Structure 1
Amino acid sequence: MSLLRAEGVAKRYGATVALEGLDLAIAPGEFFALLGGSGSGKTTLLRLVAGFETPDAGRLLLEGRDLVPLPPYRRPVAMMFQNYALFPHLDVFDNVAYGLRRAGVPSAELRRRVAEALALVRLAGLERRRPHRLSGGQRQRVALARSLVVRPRLLLLDEPLAALDAGLREATGFELRALQRATGAAFVMVTHDQAEAMALADRIGVLERGRLVQVGPPREVYERPATRFVATFLGGANLLAGTVRADGGVDCAEAGCVLRPAAPLARPAGSAVTLALRPERVRMRPEAADRAAAAEGEGPNATRGTVVEIAYRGELSTCLVRLDGGTALRVSRPSAEGVPARGTRVALAWPGEALTVLAD
């Protein structure tokens, strides 16, 4: 059974389409991440579920109950805003207690629940501090405690880690995941950070111009993107265009080789097709190193080229290789394994299962 269902949800702002015919189901206790570029509709969907906006069409159901007629304060949903929206004139205790006071919770229960929430986010002892005396990570945890203290069935998170510096993001992300498991609430997180979404979420959904183009576990969406947009937005895959052969392979002039996916393509010969290839799935060896490297640059799923740029990214380095067929291919490998210098001739190869046929 789904906790939350969106059925045919649409929202426009004048001539601008924010969401169009969106269908989505969130399971109880699930951590779900929504990914997409600016203007894709991510935050609009959160605001519709929270009750701050009204859909133009479609239904939003929480455990089978229609949310749309209900005002925000009557929905068993909490939302944590990107800027945390803490009250600067209230201390930590009163910020966390705000929703309970509005709900008329008796004072003894209120104090107990606030204490439990602050202990959960490791802020016990800071009850009387005001927001300006807290670090960014502490303010984020106050906002989380304020959201969780009302015991929502569903917590909506709008870029929850965006205001934190890089050193805090990973540690705070792990804390967020642990909190989600401890409370049992379903979390729906909006983020533009792909690594963050894949590290934290049970499933991710990718939005493009108001449409949900792919939903699935992070590994599935990353390794088997459904569309050109998903392939390039999530991890920056190489796109290789070609023409289907009678034997199910693909003639790819720009790569200078025949592409052979794990299974022959069941498409008419002569039809156009685009395949995605992740940079880390490409093997790269200096062409002059030995005969094996020379042989690796020949045959299906193998080609040659010249390293023209190198980007060091810490654990990984990415090379831009100009293929003899004319196109440029991104190739990633662990920095510790060493990277050929610019100008090096290289042989490239990849397995058939590394190629994904795209729907568009």
Structure 2
Amino acid sequence: MADTLLEARGLTRRFGAALALDALDLAIRPGEFFALLGGSGSGKSTLLRLIAGLDAPDGGALFLDGRDITADPPWARPVHMMFQSYALFPHMSVAENVGYGLRRVGVARGEQARRIAEALALVKLDGLGARRPHHLSGGQRQRVALARSLVMRPRLLLLDEPLAALDAGLREQTGFELRALQRQTGAAFVMVTHDQEEALALADRIAVLEGGRLVQVGTPEEVYWRPATAFVARFLGAANIVEPATLPLKPQVAGAAAYALRPEYIRLTRIGGASDSDLRAIRPSDHRTLGHEETGPNRVMGVVREAAFRGDSTLFVVALEAGGALRVTVHADDPMPEMGERVALAWDPDDLAPLAA
């Protein structure tokens, strides 16, 4: 297809009796930032290695620009990979590390020097070409590894947990720089990560893998607000899984196996006299409150049992009188309930996302 850069058809990989990828189909578009998200053993790193040509599938095929590249060795593919460890040569300078691939394919020296300088400028390492990797910070080494990949001008760049080795203070800044680089170069980036916030912040689209299978592909907004399965709902944001058999629901949403309900969607109200203030667990764009007089099928009673402070909000776990529990997010500028306090919870039926499984 004209709007597809890379396509996997029925891609399968086994390691003994273990099925790492189960007949996976996936299409990646030109120039998009694509994230492969999943827990340990989900198959995301295996898929990345198959795309890079570092491993061979047991079944299925890979196509790049419509051409079958399944049997092509890594060096014959316009695909490059940045490893989590960065894999820099300690005995080489920064410039020599960046230009290693150019030397291997026989690019003329003058052209090498020009492209190395361009790549170092692109990642903001101008003037550091003579240094050795051990004289650089972790963030600078990450940029060297990125420049070494970008200098080859790949159609597709594979990133294996690119921010995992950085401390928390650098992760956000470097993530935004990575996104800006992707836009500037026009290459498609495919990033493997287990970090949900990282994927949601950087990717144009996200593929969520579970047990070697692709369970959902969509924009960050789609997979977060409308998860396809209970696994996706829990993996991205610890959503509440609401079952019609155990919680009161509007008639129009009854009958399915389960629904996902985000903590941000639940409104929480103190139980007591008229002087008690309403508590709101809301999205930034939603400023509705629940009045004490409001009743209905989407209202349950419970007791606050746990609390987790998160800076600009607090996550509460409310044990329901009817059984089970719900997570509720209360923003910092709203009144906070006390541990052991009895509260009422309510939500809108439109905020329930039906789950396939």
TM-score scaled to structure 1, two decimals? 0.92
Alignment match of 2:220 (pick from 215, 218, 221): 218
Q: How far is the alpha carbon of 1:333 from its aligned partner?
A: 2.1
State how far apart, in whole Å, the 1-side matches of 2:196 and 2:293 are: 36
Q: How far is the alpha carbon of 1:68 from its aligned partner?
A: 1.4
Task: Write the letter of the residue equivalent to 2:83.
Answer: F
State how far apart, in whole Å, the 2-side matches of 1:259 and 1:62 are: 47
State how far apart, in whole Å, the 2-side matches of 1:288 and 1:82 are: 54
Alignment match of 2:258 (pick from 261, 270, 274): 274
Alignment match of 1:84 (pick from 80, 83, 86): 86
Q: How far is the alpha carbon of 1:354 from its aligned partner?
A: 1.1
State how far apart, in whole Å, the 1-side matches of 2:160 and 2:273 are: 50
What is the match of residue 39 of structure 1? 41
Tell me the matched-pair count. Answer: 341
State how far apart, in whole Å, the 2-side matches of 1:11 and 1:359 are: 26
Alignment match of 1:136 (pick from 135, 138, 142): 138
Conservation of the 8 A alpha-carbon contact between 2:256 and 2:354 = no
Task: Write the letter of the residue equivalent to 1:112.
Answer: R
Point out the more displaced range, 168-177 or 286-295.
286-295
State how far apart, in whole Å, the 1-side matches of 2:256 and 2:217 are: 26
Alignment match of 2:338 (pick from 327, 336, 341): 341
Deviation sequence 1:16-42 (CA, Å, 0-9, x none): 111011000000001000100001000
State how far apart, in whole Å, the 1-side matches of 2:334 and 2:292 are: 20
What is the match of residue 113 of structure 2? 111
* 1:352 pairs with 2:342: no
Instruction: Report the aligned-residue RMSD.
Output: 1.4
What is the match of residue 286 of structure 2? none
Deviation sequence 1:153-202 (CA, Å, 0-9, x none): 00000000000011100000000000000000000000001011011000
State how far apart, in whole Å, the 1-side matches of 2:212 and 2:69 are: 20
State how far apart, in whole Å, the 2-side matches of 1:317 and 1:327 are: 20
Query: Per the alignment, in what secondary structure is the counterpart of residue 303 of structure 1?
Result: strand
Alignment match of 1:314 (pick from 311, 315, 330): 311
* 1:285 pairs with 2:244: no
Q: What are structure 1's unaligned runs of at least 5 residues?
A: 244-251
Task: Write the letter of the residue equivalent to 2:80.
Answer: A
Conservation of the 8 A alpha-carbon contact between 1:91 and 1:131 = yes
List aligned pairs for 1:64-213, cutoff 5 A. 64-213=66-215
What is the match of residue 259 of structure 1? 249
Alignment match of 2:300 (pick from 303, 306, 309): 303
Q: How far is the alpha carbon of 1:295 from its aligned partner?
A: 2.9
What is the match of residue 5 of structure 2? 3
What is the match of residue 283 of structure 2? none
Alignment match of 1:332 (pick from 310, 329, 333): 329
Point out 4+ residue stretches in structure 1 off by more than 4 angstroms. none
Task: Write the letter of the residue equivalent to 1:71.
Answer: P
Q: In percent, how many aligned pairs have the same letter?
A: 63
Q: How far is the alpha carbon of 1:341 from its aligned partner?
A: 1.4
Point out the more displaced range, 287-296 or 74-83.
287-296
What is the match of residue 246 of structure 1? none
Task: Write the letter of the residue equivalent to 1:147.
Answer: S
